[in-house]
Amino acid sequence: MAPTPELVTAALATVNDPEIRRPITELDMVKSVDISPEGVVRVGIYLTVSGCPMRDTITRDVTTAVSKVEGVTGVQVEMDVMSTEQRKSLQTKLRGNRGPEKEIPFAQAGSLTRVFAVASGKGGVGKSSVTVNLAAAMAAGGLKVGVVDADIYGHSVPRMLGVSDRPTKVEDMIMPPVAHDIKVISVGMFKPEGNTPVVWRGPMLDRALHQFLADVFWGDLDVLLMDLPPGTGDIAISVAQRMPSAEILVVTTPQQAAAEVAERAGSIAVQTHQQIAGVIENMAWLPCPHCDERIAVFGEGGGQTVADALTRTLGARVPLLGQVPIDMRLREGGDEGKPLVLTDPDAPAAAELIKIASGLSRRSNSLKGMQLGISPTRGR
């Protein structure tokens, strides 16, 4: 049976753009399909930009899909680049035909994306490790997940997720790299090579956050996790202003000194009128390598102390979501870009993080907390 253009096009419809995560046929990326009498198929593909980092991936996926069509004896993939008009058309298509306005989709009425702002009172409590592993666990559970590395000065999420690709720019829209089925954006992806520090002040920090939320094409996410800088500085305030529906996750360690500053970080919700999803106690204990005893390296009770204090301050229950034990593999996974919840989900620390992620993933079907975009009118 000789292959037909219809059969080849149907096969191409199974190929997703690696960054946009939608079929290339739907995105008008298929330029042409030519079939020789001998069954050799030549497919023309439009790339969004000439230096597209996903070029080889698209070539491989197209070749694999078309090769499965009955009667195909060979596949040739030829690349071209979209014109300015085609890129503008793609941008409009991705923004839901609303035009190229720059709005934060997660702050719009009716957004179904649940946003968590992961905060801590001080550095060194493992906030980024917790963020990355929660994201990986949620993605592994079938959710569409994105991560914003909003810790501008101390950005570390790209390394922890093993992201080496840079974002792709389509007109004024940014396509985020994907790792472990998680869309990721970080200021570290835009810096020159090397460990150059970011020296920005308030207005620039706020602008960077807005670009991460509005200019990046996130698609339809179930969950967005934002890794905030420690403390209650400019970024925390900007998140509250731009994303008032974001729920705060407070990460602390058991020691009382860390608990006190974590309580201050969570108490910002009183002034910003945000909801606190709960408290996570990291480095809760060290399992003894020789027995079943738990060694309280950093003391005990800090997580519950923070949860109880925030409950009193807010007048609403703030739960202790979980206690994550110390595990060297958690740190090693961060250094290697391989989250522990994926490499060893049965490890005690991974199991606790997966349990926390599962609890956060469950969402009520009610309209509580959702912006409906309606306003009262006077009767006639």
Measured distance CA(347)–CA(352) in Å, rounded: 9
- 110 marked ligand binding residue: no
DSSP 3-state assignment of 259? helix
Mean pLDDT, all residues of the chain? 83
Predicted local distance difference test score (pLDDT) of residue 92: 79
- 122 marked ligand binding residue: yes
- 125 marked ligand binding residue: yes
- As beta bridge partners, residue 76 has 42
* Pairing between β-strand 145-149 and β-strand 182-186 as defined by DSSP bridges: parallel
Which one is predicted more confidently, 110 or 13?
13
- CA-to-CA dists, residue 307 to 180, 301, 303, 380, angstroms: 31, 10, 6, 49
Is-contact 116 269, C-beta < 8 A?
no
- 126 marked ligand binding residue: yes
Q: Percent of the chain at pLDDT above 70?
A: 88
- 301 marked ligand binding residue: no
Measured distance CA(61)–CA(174) in Å, rounded: 22
Mean pLDDT of 15-40: 90
Give whichever of 22-26, 71-75, 158-162, 349-353 has the largest mean pLDDT: 349-353
pTM of the model: 0.75
Is-contact 137 357, C-beta < 8 A?
yes
Which one is predicted more confidently, 177 or 261?
177
pLDDT greater than 70 at residue 232: no
The DSSP call for residue 62 is H
Confidence of residue 379 (pLDDT cuts 50, 70, 90): very low
Which one is predicted more confidently, 272 or 14?
14
Per-residue pLDDT tens over the stretch 286-339:
988 788 788 888 888 889 988 998 898 888 899 999 999 999 999 999 999 999
- 141 marked ligand binding residue: no
Measured distance CA(215)–CA(94) in Å, rounded: 12
Predicted local distance difference test score (pLDDT) of residue 302: 87
Measured distance CA(11)–CA(380) in Å, rounded: 58
Which one is predicted more confidently, 193 or 70?
70
Measured distance CA(98)–CA(220) in Å, rounded: 15
Pick the closest to residue 19 from 170, 137, 193, 131 (CA basis). Answer: 170
